[in-house]
Amino acid sequence: MTDDSRQHLREVKELDELLQKLFPISRSLSGLGNRETFRILKELIPLELTEYPSGTQVYDWTIPEEWRIRDAWIKSPDGERLVDYQECNLHVVGYSSPVRQRMQFADLAPHLHCLESSPEAIPYRTSYYQHNWGFCVTAAQYKRLEDAQGPFEVCIDSELKPDGAMTVGELRISGESQAEYLVSTYCCHPAMANDNLSGLLTATFLARDLLKKGKPQFSWRFVFVPETIGAIAYLQHNEATMKKLLGGLVITTCGGPGPLGYKETFLGDHLVDRAIRLAFRDRKVEPIRYSFVPDGSDERQYSSPGFRIPVASVTKDKYYEYSQYHTSLDNLDFVNGSQIAQSLAIYRDVIRVLDCNARYCSTAPWGEPQLSQRDLYPATGGGINQPSATGPDVVTTDIDAIMWVLFLSDSEYDLVTIAERADLEFARVVGAVDRLIDVGLLEKVSN
């Protein structure tokens, strides 16, 4: 077994363990489950946490009261828990107001949600901005309640704290340049694995990679927020900085068993799009392409007219596209570490492309420089495109990549353009650049 495959197995195991640990935690827009989730992620990366107070106005929105939930159930007349929050936190509509009441089925029914299309599933429902309460149940549970008729003991032991707060996590990795990219994901979904433990873990692992590698060329801002309200609040609190961001990634639903996908930025051909296409091309993977539409995740906020940050997503079973979406079937049978690792590999490549991208200029642009003098070209002519396995003239350098990089390096073309134009793997372009810098034939053009 190679070092790489050992490393891969270790990573898959770590992802699987983290999935197990994070899955049962009750997350929402706010509350103790979110803080517990951050506590676990902080064991991996030094996230900085900020609490935005409930009631604060953020642009057109208001930070909601903090929701805390301890327990919830529907009990039969003889005390049996017919629906039990302790079994699955999706049973309670997110942000449910507290309830403790005896009621008949007829009064309970308007507060019950189930899915005819997927009778085994408990649906995921929320009522963030309208005080309400409810239970989400399987079709079988619904039928049992209907048959029993009641009276039931109904309890939601929750609290909506007007003096609470909404927690967001961030990590800024400072690069050689202050020009910044964004990586954002959301932490507000309870027990569902693809949406969005896959995103939380992928973002965390990407941040950890960047921290390990030493100073990146660009600065990278990792943001972990509740979807929509969290992104809006974060934008409002960091307005000037966010307006200047170069581009970014919104990481969501990237751990399913289905094919990889890619949702474009609102521009469609931004450097972020091109980096993603290169990453897929170089791995010879054809993703499902999703054109930009103003729905989905937090690209709606980051790319809104006030900010216009071009952000894209790499997905694996994208939200809306899989039948388990927003139900209890989006669980750890559906998602695993090895599937997340596939998206992670693409995202790693995307970040590498964006972070390595730069423009260079040749220091000997008048005709071709003499490469054989610098051991970059075979001294014996005539053998081009005829690789030989032995002899002193074996070409150990990637001559194609060297020729392209030298030819295009007039300080206008960046490495992404060279990789596209020459149809060369990005890693080969970078390898050629390193080699040419070593022999003094290339200089970086400052950003």
Give contact residues for Zn ion (rule: CB under 5 A): 195
Instruction: Kindly tell me which of 195 and 298 has the beta carbon lying closer to Zn ion.
Output: 195
Q: How far is the CB of 281 from Zn ion (least distance, A)?
A: 29
Instruction: Kindly tell me which of 74 and 90 has the beta carbon lying closer to Zn ion.
Output: 90
- The residue type found at 300 is R
Instruction: Kindly tell me which of 195 and 398 has the beta carbon lying closer to Zn ion.
Output: 195
Q: How far is the CB of 117 from Zn ion (least distance, A)?
A: 17
Q: Which helix (H) or strand (E) holds 314?
A: strand 311-316
Q: How far is the CB of 11 from Zn ion (least distance, A)?
A: 25
Q: Do residues 16 and 336 lie in contact, with contact meaning Cβ atoms separated by under 8 Å?
A: yes
CB neighbourhood size of 227 (10 A): 24
Instruction: Kindly tell me which of 180 and 195 has the beta carbon lying closer to Zn ion.
Output: 195
Instruction: Kindly tell me which of 264 and 298 has the beta carbon lying closer to Zn ion.
Output: 298
Report which residue's Cβ sits closest to Zn ion. Answer: 195
Q: How far is the CB of 330 from Zn ion (least distance, A)?
A: 9
C-alpha distances (whole Å) from 160 to each of 67, 74, 286, 375 are 5, 20, 46, 71
Q: Six-digit token pair at 124? A: 């995921």
Q: How far is the CB of 317 from Zn ion (least distance, A)?
A: 12
Q: How far is the CB of 252 from Zn ion (least distance, A)?
A: 8
Q: How far is the CB of 195 from Zn ion (least distance, A)?
A: 4
Q: How far is the CB of 81 from Zn ion (least distance, A)?
A: 27
Instruction: Kindly tell me which of 224 and 404 has the beta carbon lying closer to Zn ion.
Output: 224
Q: How far is the CB of 94 from Zn ion (least distance, A)?
A: 11
Nearest to 51 by CA among 299, 301, 226: 226
Residues 302, 318: Cα–Cα separation, whole Å: 19
The residues facing 353 across adjacent strands are none
For tokens 């005819």, name the residue: 116
Contacts of 142-150 with CB under 8 Å at 24 or more apart are 142/112, 142/114, 144/82, 145/74, 145/82, 145/83, 145/105, 145/108, 145/112, 146/105, 146/109, 148/76, 148/77, 148/82, 148/105, 149/104, 149/105, 150/77, 150/102, 150/103, 150/104, 150/105, 150/108
- Which three-class secondary structure state does DSSP give residue 184? strand
Q: How far is the CB of 145 from Zn ion (least distance, A)?
A: 26
The residues facing 225 across adjacent strands are 186
Quote the DSSP letter at residue 229.
H
Handedness of CA 91, 93, 97, 102 (dihedral sign): negative
Q: How far is the CB of 18 from Zn ion (least distance, A)?
A: 19
Residues 335, 199: Cα–Cα separation, whole Å: 12
List, in order, residues 6 or more apart from 279 with CB less than 8 Å away. Answer: 346, 349, 350, 353, 426
Instruction: Kindly tell me which of 96 and 219 has the beta carbon lying closer to Zn ion.
Output: 96
Instruction: Kindly tell me which of 322 and 360 has the beta carbon lying closer to Zn ion.
Output: 322
- The residue type found at 158 is S
| H helix and E strand count, the chain | 13, 19
- The residue type found at 138 is T
Instruction: Kindly tell me which of 37 and 409 has the beta carbon lying closer to Zn ion.
Output: 37
Instruction: Kindly tell me which of 195 and 299 has the beta carbon lying closer to Zn ion.
Output: 195
Instruction: Kindly tell me which of 78 and 295 has the beta carbon lying closer to Zn ion.
Output: 295
